[in-house]
Amino acid sequence: MSSSLPTRDPDSTIQRILFLSPKVHIYTVPPLTTTKGYTTTNWSPLLAPTASNPTPAPITTRLRVLETSSSTISSSSPISNSNSNSNNEIQTTILLEDPESGDLFAAAPYTSASAVEAVLDSARFFAVRVEGEGGRKAVLGIGFEERSEAIDFGICLQGVRKVMGIDRDAAINGAPIKGERRGVGGAKGPEKVEGKKGNWSLKEGETIKVEIGGMGVKRKEQVEDSGGQDGESALFSIKPPPQNQDTGGMPLLSPPPSANQVKAERRRSRGPTVPEKGSAADLGFDDGEFGEFQ
């Protein structure tokens, strides 16, 4: 009688701890009201009584990322193993345990990137989807006391997604990959959009016009300030001298002054001069025949 059910050998199961944090804080997370993601603004500590303290107090647990690798052997005959095939199955689970007794508080199978999402307003907090008995699911918030532990936790989950091919399967199925970037632990981010590649090389006869240092702008303003004048008059800001109407050309220059005019100009510039001594007649005296002394 053949059996199609796989048989599991307990000796072929290997468990490996990928990450361990001795203390994380647990929070209650209200339902999402936006598609952007989780924020810690409305989180509150999860309170519960313990064996040592019956009064409800904030819960702190130990966090472990446990990888389980097992070999599954299936055969067409329970007697002969000649046609048997061996396949390795890898499962990764995030365990929240009591730090003292080691009792399990909650478990979150890491089967997709949405199982753990980093919050938008902090790098130390994550939203974890845990599963309980009977398939019940809930979202709990976890908070690390050290930022370095949160970074190591996110790097660990990134390696798990790579080994298990979670991101690759999501890309093949066309679903958005939430582990691209919303936070450290794997969350949604902006998708890269690739546009069409075009040929931007210059064709034959095409040229490029380059304006350096705003020269083209100044030139344009000068042309606009010229009031629509022609190009030659707009180039000069000083008007040319008026033309002579008689000759139609440039105005003629006056001849240079004569020597007498130069001497007279010099005398005027020197101021009043004393008259030179002359004869009595030149001074107004009459010494002639009818002079004063006869």
User: H-helix or E-strand containing 282?
Assistant: helix 280-283
pLDDT reading at 215 higher than 70: no
pLDDT of residue 153: 96
Would you state the pLDDT for residue 179? 43
**Choice between 3 and 96, residue whose per-residue pLDDT is larger:** 96
Average of per-residue pLDDT across 59-72: 89
Most confident of 122-131, 132-141, 178-187, 265-274: 122-131
- Tell me the pLDDT of the chain averaged across its residues: 74
User: In whole angstroms, how far apart are CA 51 and each of 107, 130, 288?
Assistant: 21, 23, 162
Non-local (6+) Cβ contacts of 174 within 8 A are none
Rounded Cα distance, 118 and 61, in Å: 19
pLDDT of residue 291: 53
Name the token pair of 244.
């002579």
Here the tokens at position 163 are 């080994």
pLDDT at position 73 over 90: no
Per-residue confidence at 159, pLDDT binned at 50, 70, 90? Answer: very high
Give the model's pLDDT for residue 25. Answer: 95
Local confidence band at 151 (pLDDT 50, 70, 90 cut-offs): very high
Asked if 169 and 178 count as a contact pair (C-beta separation under 8 A), the reply is no
Question: Across residues 220-236, what is the average pLDDT?
Answer: 55
User: Rounded to two decimals, what is the model's pTM?
Assistant: 0.52
67/13: higher pLDDT: 67
DSSP one-letter code for 165? T
CA–CA separation, 9 and 248 (whole Å): 119
Q: Token digits for 44?
A: 């509150």
Closest residue by Cα to residue 25 from 51, 52, 45: 45
CA 217-222-225 angle, 5° bins: 125
Q: pLDDT category, 148, cuts 50, 70, 90? A: very high
Q: Is residue 150 very low, low, confident or very high in pLDDT (cuts 50, 70, 90)?
A: very high
- pLDDT tier, 60 (very low <50, low <70, confident <90, very high otherwise): very high
- SS3 category, 124: coil
- Residue 251 neighbours by CB under 8 Å, 6+ apart: 241, 242, 243, 244
What pLDDT is recorded for position 64?
Answer: 96
Number of Cβ within a 10 Å radius of residue 189? 14
State the distance between the two ends of the chain, measured CA to CA, in whole angstroms.
192
116's CB contacts (< 8 A; 6+ apart) are 94, 108, 110, 126, 127, 128, 129, 157, 185, 186
Q: Do residues 61 and 97 lie in contact, with contact meaning Cβ atoms separated by under 8 Å? A: yes
- Would you say 106 and 94 are in contact if contact means Cβ atoms under 8 Å apart? no
